[in-house]
């Protein structure tokens, strides 16, 4: 009984440490993203805002394959860590398939909302230009990072949980003990209390 309680408390401590680590890294990442995307830029001119979906991606592709890969990759990678940090900070690493799909949906929605918030805040920052394609690519980056890392992390945590349970040894079992030989006779005798 004590081993099981110790195992549970150790698992709870590890779970709490993972949540705290995820929360700290999430805050640090959001501060870095805010600094990169919301600082004023001193530029002589700024391009017009792009509110037509996929037009900015077509413009990036016209620069050639290397420059297009760099520009599109930057937009994909900007918020991609949210795909891992949000479920980690939330402690939502449940192993069931339904929980996995709902986690992906919630994480994707949160990533798109963060990207929309950044785009709205950029409209008031000098030198920053709003681009709807960056919202699409940021959301896609969150989904790709979540799909690439979180299932493997869940599997690893499940394996660690199984190994932790099996290392405690099996639960001792007591063979079934029959009733005493005089039980039938004594139960038939009326008792007066």
pTM (two decimals): 0.75
Percent of the chain past pLDDT 90, that is, above it, reads: 48
41 sits in the region (left: phi over 0; alpha: psi -120 to 50; else beta) called beta
Q: What is the mean pLDDT of residues 29-56?
A: 89
Exposed e or buried b for every residue in 92-107, given b needs 16+ CB within 10 A? Answer: bbeeeeeebeebbeeb
- Residue 176 corresponds to which tokens in the numbers above? 């079934």
Whether 141 has a pLDDT exceeding 80, the answer reads yes
Query: Using the 8-state DSSP alphabet, how is residue 39 labeled?
Result: S
pLDDT value of residue 168: 52
117 vs 1: which has the higher pLDDT: 117
19 vs 173: which has the higher pLDDT: 19
8 vs 130: which has the higher pLDDT: 130
Whether 5 has a pLDDT exceeding 90, the answer reads no
- How high is the mean pLDDT of the chain? 83
Percent of the chain past pLDDT 70, that is, above it, reads: 75
- pLDDT-based confidence at 80, cuts 50/70/90? very high
pLDDT tens digit sequence for 144-185: 999 999 888 888 877 777 776 555 556 556 555 555 566 666
């Amino acid at each position: 009984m004590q081993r099981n309680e110790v195992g549970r408390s150790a698992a709870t401590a590890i779970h709490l440490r993972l949540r705290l680590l995820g929360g700290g890294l999430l805050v640090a990442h959001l501060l870095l993203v805010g600094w990169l995307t919301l600082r004023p830029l001193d530029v002589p001119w700024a391009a017009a805002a792009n509110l037509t979906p996929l037009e900015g991606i077509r413009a990036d592709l016209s620069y050639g394959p290397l420059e297009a890969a760099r520009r599109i990759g930057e937009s994909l990678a900007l918020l991609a860590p949210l795909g891992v940090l949000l479920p980690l900070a939330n402690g939502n690493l449940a192993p069931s398939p339904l929980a996995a799909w709902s986690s992906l949906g919630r994480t994707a929605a949160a990533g798109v909302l963060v990207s929309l918030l950044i785009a709205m805040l950029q409209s008031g920052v000098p030198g920053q230009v709003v681009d709807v394609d960056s919202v699409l690519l940021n959301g896609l980056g969150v989904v790709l990072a979540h799909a690439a890392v979180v299932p493997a992390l869940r599997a690893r945590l499940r394996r660690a949980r199984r190994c932790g349970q099996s290392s405690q040894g099996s639960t001792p079992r007591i063979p079934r003990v029959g009733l005493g030989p005089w039980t039938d006779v004594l139960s038939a005798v009326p008792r007066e209390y």
